[in-house]
Amino acid sequence: MEQLYDQEENHQEVATCKVMGSFKQERLEDRVAVLNEAKDSFTKAKNDFAAKQVEDQMKLLRYQRLLEEELQMPCQELSLHETIHKLMVTRNHKMAEQLRKEFKVPEKRYWWLRVDALAQSADWVELDKFSKSKKPLLGMEAFVDACMKYDAKMEARKYIPRVSPEKKVYCLIKTGLLREAAEVAFENRSEEELNKVLRACSTQDRTVEDQVRAYKQQLGAAQIHVDAFAKAQQDQYMNSERQTCMRASQQPRLLSSNLDNRQFILGQQLEHARRDRGESHPQKILL
């Protein structure tokens, strides 16, 4: 197929075939040579992104050979992130940092790798120090997850006091503290979180299950009271608006009545004034 693509000058497919073929090469030098040909084909296809990816892969292979020679650490079949993670687990942090800078690994991804590596190597002291960095890029739930991944429940619980409020119930459930999770969910007045606690309960957690159901009943009763109060407030507001509209509709009629009264009084006052001056009513002039 590669020869056919080459005859058609389909450089994109030629490059793809070469990348796939590189995995069949056992010697590092042969693999790098084939990848270099793939890079050239991607460049001809004007696929700069793929060409850069292949270039980075060749660079990684050279680093991995160096690690095997200097550290006796087999890693040629690993990805970049797996290589950095393995360096961290074996406490070769300086080389891990060098790879991070060389390949521009995002800071947040690097943090994830380091947290997981420290937990895997059971370096709890260093993990605790890392969690207290000045500008942490991960929430404390990441440290809880890493500890639980390697069955270190007691270590995981140490981070719960520093977990953000919105993640606390999740972490309490994850570390098996169901009673505490139920209490926090009730304090948050969150039926959704209470349901999560309920789903986490086993047949041995009857007491917690009963407590959760009691909390849900209390929240339901409180919600009924809140709804009733809200409805009363809404009814009061609607009545007030209705009365305001009625007064507004009657306002023109009242204004007209007041105007008629003022005109009548003014007419009476003029009539009395004429009489006091001895004037008679003005006569109509007949033509």
The predicted structure's pLDDT at residue 144: 97
Does residue 158 fall inside a structural domain?
yes
- Residue 73: CATH number of its domain: 1.10.150
The predicted structure's pLDDT at residue 49: 93
The predicted structure's pLDDT at residue 284: 42
> How many independent structural domains does the chain possess?
3
> Exposed/middle/buried for 9, CB within 10 Å: 0-12, 13-18, 19+?
exposed
Does residue 150 fall inside a structural domain?
yes
Does residue 223 fall inside a structural domain?
yes
Does residue 266 fall inside a structural domain?
no
Which residue range(s) make up the domain with 152? 79-134+142-162
Residues 45, 84 share a domain = no
- For residue 211, the Cα-to-chain-centroid distance in whole angstroms is 30
pTM above 0.85, yes or no: no
Per-residue pLDDT 10s for the chain (287 aa) are 776 766 667 878 888 888 888 888 878 888 888 888 888 888 888 999 999 998 989 999 999 999 988 888 888 889 999 999 999 999 998 999 999 999 999 999 999 999 999 999 999 999 999 999 878 789 999 999 999 999 999 999 999 999 999 999 999 999 999 999 999 999 999 999 999 999 998 877 889 989 999 998 888 765 554 444 555 566 566 667 667 766 666 555 555 555 556 665 666 666 666 666 565 554 443 33
Q: Could you tell me where the DSSP H helices lie in 175-285? A: 178-187, 191-200, 206-276
Q: Are the CB atoms for 209 and 201 separated by under 8 Å?
A: yes
Residues 170, 146 share a domain = no
Does residue 270 fall inside a structural domain?
no
CA distance 148 to 119: 9
Q: Are the CB atoms for 41 and 14 separated by under 8 Å?
A: yes
Residues 146, 122 share a domain = yes
Residues 173, 150 share a domain = no
The predicted structure's pLDDT at residue 12: 82
Residues 129, 94 share a domain = yes
Residues 92, 47 share a domain = no
The predicted structure's pLDDT at residue 74: 86
Residues 175, 150 share a domain = no
Q: Are the CB atoms for 126 and 91 separated by under 8 Å?
A: no
Residues 95, 69 share a domain = no
Does residue 262 fall inside a structural domain?
no
Residues 206, 173 share a domain = yes
The predicted structure's pLDDT at residue 75: 86
**Residue that finishes a domain, picked among 35, 59, 77:** 77
Residues 90, 47 share a domain = no
The predicted structure's pLDDT at residue 235: 57
The predicted structure's pLDDT at residue 73: 86
